[in-house]
Amino acid sequence: MAATELEPANTERALVSHVDTAEVPSAAWGWSGESPRTFKIAAVVVALILLAMLVGNHKGRVEDIFLVGFAVALLGIVGYDKILSRKPR
């Protein structure tokens, strides 16, 4: 008997996915979701770049406050996410 969609053959692997491919087209080729590790690394790199911008030829300190504030906010979000991910849900 030939395999049908209702009755898969024993040799075929069934694709189990909780994501509808109509809503998320990338789920059809195997990737669907976020990569939190990449986002955390990117946030730390951006925070370091913001802190590196403190060295410059500007005379006012308002720019420094905003640069440090945004860098601290990014690092705070990464730290909060790290603490939140350790707690069992």
pLDDT tens column, 19-33:
666 777 766 666 666
pTM of the shown model: 0.63
Q: Tokens 């986002």 — which residue?
A: 39
pLDDT tens column, 40-84:
999 999 999 999 999 988 888 899 999 999 999 999 999 999 998
Longest CA–CA span in the chain (Å) reads: 81
